[in-house]
């Protein structure tokens, strides 16, 4: 999964615009899952039990794995606490000027940052399929 | 396209995307879930209509393309008309069942649609830069910094206990910063939004995750304010805005629980 293309905002701006209509699968899953009106078990409405593929988008926020990962992250963190502007910061500042994004300027963290956990369960299921073009209902 | 085109047979059902005012008409190229994608149709009742498409019941739904089609249809609709998203995966036997549903809750749905007239959702999502937030926390918390010194460069097997303690400390510190960032975001954008709805964090480095319901003619101001917010935190938080979207996070008040 890659970062959704920046489609708007000021050049070099700090805000990335991802648009609508499901440009990025991780965004789609997060946006629509478990949302919307529930009309299950309505009187006189014949709801069909359809087989839904399991969509596992929930991640555990606090776990031992997470804790250990933070410790690994601090291993990579080469600056000392008292010195806020260490080498990594300077490197990031420099690259930030051309990449306008921390994701690229970071220490190889870009892939991790894009909610890999959210889409892991989905990316192996035909995510390369051509996306339907965005459609709109006509003006009323 | 007419209601007669959709039939509930033994093998198919009607997938319901959302509820709209009855004068909404899908474009001929509107495609729904399924493989091949189903044609999107409407079932009308009174002032209401439901966006539906036929699905084969033996075919499981929930592939990436299905989710994308569902969202694209609802977001595209929300751009031109109010829409109440119906939870993904809702399938009924046929047009009669859809009409029963619309009839049973006609006034409630109609009132909800009025509420969403000329309003769209934007979801604001931000991630902490891990290195940056770690540096901040270590600078602010002597105990965390000491623990970091103990584990840094030493094998995990030797320092597992300290690592877990350190990670827990960081996790709690991130949580506090997340709460603060969400509060700041809501405070900054409240004047520019009709409603807001906090969203659960989806990642351990989540900084903010909030849905806002915004008036169509207030979108520019909303985005400008958000750009300022993002600019002020650009080293610490990577900010993104998704939208305009259908009001996924604002229909819960209209959920129909028996």
ipTM: 0.84
Spans of all domains in chain B: 3-117, 120-254
CA proximity to A10, closest of B218, B126, B223:
B223
The predicted pLDDT at position A33 comes to 84
Residues 12-71 in A contacting B (C-alpha not used; CB under 8 Å): 13-22, 25, 27-48, 50-55, 57, 59, 61-62, 64, 66-71
Partner-chain contact A37 B57, CB within 8 Å: no
Q: What's CA B237's distance to the chain center, in Å?
A: 20
Partner-chain contact B248 A125, CB within 8 Å: no
Kindly indicate the confidence band of residue B76, based on its pLDDT and cuts at 50, 70 and 90: very high
CA angle B31, B36, B39 (to 5 degrees): 30
Within an 8 Å CB–CB cutoff, is residue A83 touching chain B? no
Q: What's CA A99's distance to the chain center, in Å?
A: 19
Spans of all domains in chain A: 25-123
Kindly indicate the confidence band of residue B61, based on its pLDDT and cuts at 50, 70 and 90: confident
Within an 8 Å CB–CB cutoff, is residue A110 touching chain B? no
Partner-chain contact B166 A102, CB within 8 Å: no
Residue B183 has pLDDT above 90, yes or no: yes
Closest chain A residue to the Cα of B152, Cα to Cα = A75
Mean of pLDDT values over B200-209? 92
Q: What does the block give as tokens for B134?
A: 């770690």
B78-108 per-position pLDDT tens digit: 999 999 999 898 888 899 999 988 998 899 9
Digit-by-digit pLDDT tens for chain A (140 residues) are 333 334 444 556 889 988 666 568 888 888 988 888 887 555 445 566 666 665 555 555 567 888 888 888 887 776 554 444 444 444 444 333 333 333 333 333 333 333 333 333 333 333 333 333 333 443 33
Q: Biggest alpha carbon distance in chain A?
A: 67
Please state, for a pLDDT cut of 90, what percent of chain B lies above it: 76
Residue recorded with tokens 């493989």: B35
Residues of A in contact with B100 (CB under 8 A): 44-45
Residues of A in contact with B205 (CB under 8 A): 113
Within an 8 Å CB–CB cutoff, is residue A11 touching chain B? no
């Amino acid at each position: 999964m890659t970062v959704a293309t920046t489609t708007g905002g000021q050049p070099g701006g700090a805000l990335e615009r991802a648009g609508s209509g499901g440009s990025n699968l991780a965004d789609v899953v997060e946006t629509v899952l478990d949302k919307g009106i529930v009309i299950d078990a309505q009187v006189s409405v014949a709801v069909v039990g359809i087989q839904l593929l399991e969509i596992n988008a929930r991640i555990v926020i606090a776990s031992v794995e997470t804790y250990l990962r933070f410790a690994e992250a601090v291993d990579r963190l080469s600056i000392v606490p008292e010195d806020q502007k260490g080498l990594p910061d300077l490197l990031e500042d420099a690259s930030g000027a051309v990449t306008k994004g921390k994701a690229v300027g970071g220490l190889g963290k870009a892939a991790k940052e894009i909610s890999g956990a959210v889409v892991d369960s989905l990316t192996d299921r035909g995510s390369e399929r051509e996306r339907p073009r965005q459609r709109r209902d006509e003006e009323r | 396209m007419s209601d007669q085109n959709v039939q509930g047979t033994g093998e198919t059902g009607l997938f319901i995307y959302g509820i709209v005012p009855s004068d909404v008409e899908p474009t001929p190229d509107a495609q729904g879930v399924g493989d091949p994608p189903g044609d999107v149709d409407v079932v009308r009742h009174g002032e209401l209509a439901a966006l539906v498409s036929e699905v084969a019941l033996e075919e499981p739904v929930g592939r990436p393309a299905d989710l994308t089609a569902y969202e694209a249809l609802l977001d595209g609709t929300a751009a031109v008309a109010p829409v109440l998203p119906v939870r993904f995966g809702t399938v009924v036997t046929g047009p009669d069942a859809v009409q029963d549903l619309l009839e049973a809750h006609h006034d409630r749905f109609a009132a909800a649609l009025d509420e969403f007239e000329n309003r769209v959702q934007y979801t604001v999502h931000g991630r902490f830069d891990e290195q940056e937030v770690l540096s901040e926390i270590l600078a602010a918390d002597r105990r965390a910094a000491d623990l970091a010194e103990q584990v840094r460069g030493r094998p995990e097997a030797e320092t597992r206990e300290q690592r877990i303690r350190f990670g827990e400390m960081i996790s709690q510190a991130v949580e506090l910063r997340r709460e603060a960032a969400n509060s700041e975001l809501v405070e900054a954008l409240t004047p520019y939004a009709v409603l807001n709805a906090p969203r659960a964090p989806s990642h351990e480095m989540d900084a903010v995750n909030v849905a806002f319901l915004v008036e169509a003619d207030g979108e520019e101001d909303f985005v400008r304010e958000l750009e300022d917010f993002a600019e002020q935190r650009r080293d610490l938080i990577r900010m993104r805005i998704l939208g305009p979207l259908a009001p996924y996070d604002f229909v819960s008040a209209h959920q129909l629980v028996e």
